[in-house]
């Protein structure tokens, strides 16, 4: 039977989600824990790849098992054995054609910026410390050309270039609550480092290194060198994963 797990994790202590040979990925921990619960060597499929230090409030996994254990016992058992920075939120039996990655129809990411010159221990490794004052209204205007279907090759890290780099961004919202600035991006899928490059480019606009209208030109260039820097991983969260 096919199982769907929804988990959450802090990525600070992990080398991304995917299984690693010479480092620890979240997948290593999940599969080891499933073995303890199910007594089977399980290989899980994740909804996304994440870089070292990236977090997830909602991350979906799927796997095959012959064990008929109750879903609630999977949740309770796994949360008993998992470290404090990984948690199982839900488990359910799904149709056999379900796949965490290939059945996914969209995702929502959030990038958090602690907009202050002074460190805050409560945001350490959880938000980017950034001392230049952000004008969120200007950045909201700057990001609008990215909404819709475009070739986002300019916003793709070199290690992730694919033949098809066209994606659809449904919405981008930039919000502020006191010193915390949130950039929320939803779409049908994202290229390698795409969100972090968008954020890095916005920060360069904020610093006056790029003009407000540059996003359209960057899209048209189809060249990673046309976009800005890649923002650090610690501010990025996978917020939601969508399925039909």
What number of other Cβ atoms are within 10 A of residue 61's Cβ?
24
Domain membership of residue 60 (yes or no) is: yes
The two tokens of residue 108 are 């929502």
The two tokens of residue 78 are 């796994």
- 70 and 165 both lie in a single domain: no
The pLDDT score that the predictor gives to residue 177 is 96
Residues 113 and 129: their CA atoms lie apart, in Å, by 6
Strand partners, 167: 150
Given a cut of 80, whether residue 195 has pLDDT beyond it is: yes
Q: What per-residue string of b and e applies to 195-212 under the rule 16 or more CB within 10 Å gives b?
A: bbbbbbbbbebbeeebee
For 185-203, what is the mean pLDDT? 97
- 231 and 144 both lie in a single domain: yes
Structural domain boundaries enclosing 115: 105-243
Digit-coded pLDDT (tens) for 168-192: 999 999 999 999 999 999 999 999 9
Q: Are strands 128-129 and 104-114 parallel, antiparallel or unpaired?
A: parallel
H/E segment holding residue 242: strand 236-243
Collapsed DSSP state (helix, strand, coil) of residue 223 = coil
- 183 and 128 both lie in a single domain: yes
User: What CATH number is associated with residue 114?
Assistant: 3.30.70.660
Query: Of residues 51, 97, 179, 188, which has the active-site annotation?
Result: 51
The pLDDT score that the predictor gives to residue 160 is 61
Domain membership of residue 214 (yes or no) is: yes
H/E segment holding residue 200: helix 194-206
For 63-67, what is the mean pLDDT? 94
- 147 and 65 both lie in a single domain: no
Q: Are strands 86-94 and 55-64 parallel, antiparallel or unpaired?
A: unpaired
- 88 and 194 both lie in a single domain: no
The domain total for the chain is: 2
DSSP characters over 123-153: GTTTSEE--SPP-HHHHHHHHGGGSEEEE-G
Tell me the CA distances in angstroms from 16 to 2, 11, 238, one per residue in order: 24, 7, 12
Domain membership of residue 100 (yes or no) is: no
CB contact set of 57 (below 8 Å; sequence gap of 6+): 8, 110, 237, 238, 239, 240
Under the banding of pLDDT at 50, 70 and 90, the label for residue 49 is confident
For 109-120, what is the mean pLDDT? 97
Domain membership of residue 126 (yes or no) is: yes
- 50 and 167 both lie in a single domain: no
With 0-12 / 13-18 / 19 or more C-beta atoms within 10 angstroms meaning exposed / middle / buried, residue 99 is middle
User: What CATH number is associated with residue 20?
Assistant: 3.30.70.580
Residues 232 and 60: their CA atoms lie apart, in Å, by 23
71 given a catalytic annotation:
no
- 10 and 65 both lie in a single domain: yes
Domain membership of residue 26 (yes or no) is: yes
CB 197 within 8 A of CB 157: yes
- 228 and 141 both lie in a single domain: yes
């Amino acid at each position: 039977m096919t199982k769907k797990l929804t988990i959450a994790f802090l990525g600070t202590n992990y080398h991304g989600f995917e299984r690693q040979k010479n480092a620890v990925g979240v997948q290593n921990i999940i599969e080891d824990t499933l073995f303890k619960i199910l007594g089977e060597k399980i290989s899980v499929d994740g909804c996304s790849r994440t870089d070292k230090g990236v977090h997830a409030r909602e991350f979906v996994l799927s796997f095959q098992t012959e064990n008929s254990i109750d879903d609630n016992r999977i949740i309770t058992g796994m949360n008993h054995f998992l470290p404090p920075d990984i948690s199982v939120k839900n488990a359910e039996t799904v149709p056999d054609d379900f796949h965490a990655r290939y059945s996914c129809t969209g995702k929502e990411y959030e990038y958090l910026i602690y907009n202050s010159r002074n460190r805050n221990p409560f945001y350490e490794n959880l938000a980017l410390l950034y001392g230049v004052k952000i004008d969120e209204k200007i950045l909201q205007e700057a990001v609008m050309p990215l909404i819709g279907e475009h070739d986002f090759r300019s916003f793709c890290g070199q290690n992730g270039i694919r033949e098809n780099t066209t994606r659809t961004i449904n919405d981008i919202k930039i919000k502020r609550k006191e010193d915390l600035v949130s950039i929320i991006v939803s779409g049908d899928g994202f290229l390698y480092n795409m969100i972090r490059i968008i954020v890095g480019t916005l920060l360069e606009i904020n610093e006056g290194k790029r003009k407000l209208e540059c996003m359209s030109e960057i899209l048209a260039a189809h060249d990673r060198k046309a976009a800005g820097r890649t923002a650090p991983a610690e501010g990025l969260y996978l917020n939601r994963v969508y399925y039909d």
